[in-house]
Amino acid sequence: MIEALKEAVLDQAGIKMQGRGDCHMLSDLILGQTNEFISYNTLRRMYGFAPEVKPRTKTLDVLAQFCGYADFQRFCLQHSRFERWQRQLDVVQRAEKSNPTLCIQCVFEVPGNLERVELSTQIACAFIDAGKWEEFSEFCHGIVSFIKGQDYMAQLYFGNRIGLRLGNLNGQIPRALLHPSVVSLICTTH
């Protein structure tokens, strides 16, 4: 996360760290915006122009404040959420263009079971929204054992979100929705 903060600081300052002069300028910008002083030597160590040492918590907090966050901990929380959101958006966009097998692989590459459940739900919704019923049923077949292995609340979340989405369809229900995996995952839960 420290590397991400360092990048965010440079983005906020609008400079490229190329030497000692940039460290002086960044130190002045930070002081002007936060009323907190970080020496150019500290910045030189952080950006690799001097032997690196682990920055103090106070230094990280001030840098986070410079970027608009309350402290380094808040920066880490927001950055993690943003990374997760970006990863999910990327996979959902690929779901609209690719086959279910690749989408299933993407789901299992994501860290954390709850994020996998959320991502599975979003991909399934993307297939529904695109009217890709065969792909939807194939995707459900590929994740049925994973979803069934989750706790009841995760199963309920998946089943209800998809069930509600399907309930809003106008017209005849496609045959692909009668696939045993779809029935098992959604219809019985919802």
pLDDT digits (tens, 9 = 90+) for 98-116: 688 888 888 888 777 888 8
Residue bearing the bigger pLDDT, 165 or 182: 165
Cβ–Cβ under 8 Å, residues 107 and 117: no
Distance from C-alpha of 141 to C-alpha of 41, rounded to nearest angstrom: 57
Residue 31, pLDDT above cutoff 90: yes
Cβ–Cβ under 8 Å, residues 110 and 119: yes
Q: What is the pLDDT of residue 91?
A: 67
Q: How many CB atoms lie within 10 A of CB 2?
A: 14
Q: What is the pLDDT of residue 65?
A: 93
> For all residues of the chain together, what is the average pLDDT?
83
CA neighbours closer than 13 Å in the CB half-sphere of residue 12: 19
User: 97: burial class by Cβ within 10 Å (0-12, 13-18, 19+)?
Assistant: exposed
Q: What is the pLDDT of residue 61?
A: 94
In terms of residues, how long is the chain? 190
Summarize the confidence of residues 121-126 as an average pLDDT.
87
Instruction: Report pTM.
Output: 0.53
